[in-house]
A and B are shown apart, each in its own frame.
Chain A
Amino acid sequence: MKLTHLLVTAALALGFASAATADGHAKTKVGFVYVGPVGDGGWTYEHDQGRLAVEEEFGAAVETVYVENVAEGPDSERVMTQMALDGADLIFTTSFGYMDPTNNVAAKFPDVKFEHATGYKRLHPNVSTYSARFYEGRAIQGHIAGKMTKSNIIGYIGSFPIPEVIRGINSAYIHAAKVNPDVEFKIIWVYTWFDPAKEADAAKVLIEQGADVVLQHTDSTAPQAAAQEAGGVVTFGQASDMGQYAPFPRVSSIIDDWAPYYIARTRAVMEGTWESMDTWDGIGPGMVGIGDISDAVPADVKAEALALKAALGDGSYHAFTGPLNKQDGSPFLGAGETADDGTLAGMNFYVEGIEGDIPQ
């Protein structure tokens, strides 16, 4: 007993000693909370690529930790608290449903910096929010979809009825209807970010009901597989390139590039210059990338899509430009008017032409 005790103490002392001498100064610890598995091939995969980029950039000066498959709600609060207790200096929480938990935990750990993706609440000086203007990418998808559909039915798999998703639906619809006034959107809400079987089922239902283009706002590649199985159905990669399904059914994609942001924020924490702020970047700064438009898209449509991308990127065109009406026919934007960020951030209505109600 005594011998074991002695050995353990010795080992501990050695461990501490070596840790202290190897570093000289403490490492910056960066935590990531993920809503799905890192291998989802979509949303969480891209966040994890950002984490790996942080490791590569700073090498031994940082330590990153992550927890995957964290349910939105109270469970996430527990995970964040544990990360903060374990000494994290900066924590990225990467799903909309972590908004309140992030702020709750931030109140308890004023010295830890929190970064919440896709939310809008910054109740404490140690909380920042960041998101990407995915709706710019949706505009390009809508354009291609409107041009390529033959049945004029475009299927859309929605996750949760939150502004981020509704914005995407509106943006895609506006640009599809612009090039094809007969286009109709069928929207199915699956109430999950990640459930491959359910996502595939939703895609199959949309295809059975006549859709020949399927857009998804969920995280796995299952709808791509369902479309491939059905044949003749166009899809787009969501959050990640999903290039395994190129050139068809996946004809293009929206790629989230979080790496530059994660590196910049980690550096800010290291240098002590971190401040609470809201970041919302689009195609221009590179936070939203458009994946290669494959040869399955006719050359003229591809050229138009690339021109649209360029206009969105340099700011000469805004994805929400009037004249636009809301679904009930009331005016939303006058001719030439563009939507301001506040309206976009809280968008909870469909634009004119989309059928069905948003679940409230």
Chain B
Amino acid sequence: MEDNMQDNLSQSGIVAAPPPEKPKGKPRRFNCPSCGGTITLKAVGLSVHAVCSSCSSVIDTTDENYRIIEAAHQNTQKTLLDIGTRGRLKGIEWEVIGYTDKTDGLEMYHWDEYLLYNPYYGFRFLVQESGNWNFVKVLRRDVPGAGVSNEIVFEGQKFALFLRGEAVVQYVKGEFYWRVKKGERTFVADYIAPPRIISVEKNNEEINISLGEYIEPGDIASAFAIREKMPDKTVVAPNQPASAQDGYRNMWLVAAAAFALVLTVQFTTMATADNAEVYTNSFIVRPPQKGQTIATASFNIPKESNVLIQTSSQIDNEWLELDLSLIDEKTDKAYDLKQAIEYYHGYDGGEHWSEGSQSAESYLSKVPAGNYRLLVDMDSGAFEKNGGVLLSMAIRRDVPNWSNFLLATASIFIYPLFALFKRWNFEKNRWSESDYTPAIYRINEEED
């Protein structure tokens, strides 16, 4: 996972493989013209703007007299990563040099943006919202349709529009390579292709497009040696990858292979089954025989196999119940089962209807080889009505059936289907925060 992210970031230019030439200039210290506190400028020659960590005054670092742009306006806000904190992320050491706290236009959603700096690699951002983190680099090229279209393509990958809105700066500290101040508003649009996200920020003067990649909070905690509890994830992030994507794909491959094997076993069984009839007969049961047990003639089952007992009767708007016992003549072992035949029909409300059937069938498993008889106890409402009941019976052995196959297939697919539902639910939660939810994830919204 880490390697894949590294590769993706490298391809995107977020992590450059060979280090570029280090820019000239050492960190410069100067005193805040407002409170006298010491300010250390890390990105000398690049930063245009610093916020005093002591009094929060905003200072123009391009002015040789360190002109105050904005006087102290607020108390210093505690942040998870302090200015000056260093950490190794994606194999490169970064230092936190700036922080902005932003909200949407309605101040419903808050997020933190940490500006990172490395003298060889320049600037990156770490963005934290609702416990989810992104490692972000500003792109130095245009992405056609960004901010306007509902879908954009970057490096051959499609990114779907997730949100359009406004970002408002609520708090700043540290130094910045652009001029930033509290209350500044920008138009924002986010496009996602998890785990990547493209963000567009636009104001009257400029447009910035950046590429971010999702990072697990644990990786941030390790990189910057954060000992405090990381913010809990409270929502699915727009570009949060579903867990174990490769495993999920491979699971369906395994399921497909297993299903192919199950099909092969089933068709082989069907092709090689004897499916032989060992007994067949029809007889009429008269009312005096009601309550008596009828025994069939002896028949032979040559080897252990399943047995299918099929019965049928031409009953009409009547019922028939059968207690059957297959008896091994040598061992007297009995295999008992019940069958019910019910068939009703009529004409009601201008329509013909019918229910039930005039036949029934039952399987017996693993019946050993031997000579057998079938005992039949029968009761039926047709005895009184018709003066007798015609019963037809057929017994077959080694009959192909589908029930084992269906159980095996259900067993194979139950877990992948559960995982599929879980994934759908994950995506539904992701898109629940968006105004551009694809139709497939909108089911509950319409009910609400």
Tell whether A and B belong to one assembly: no
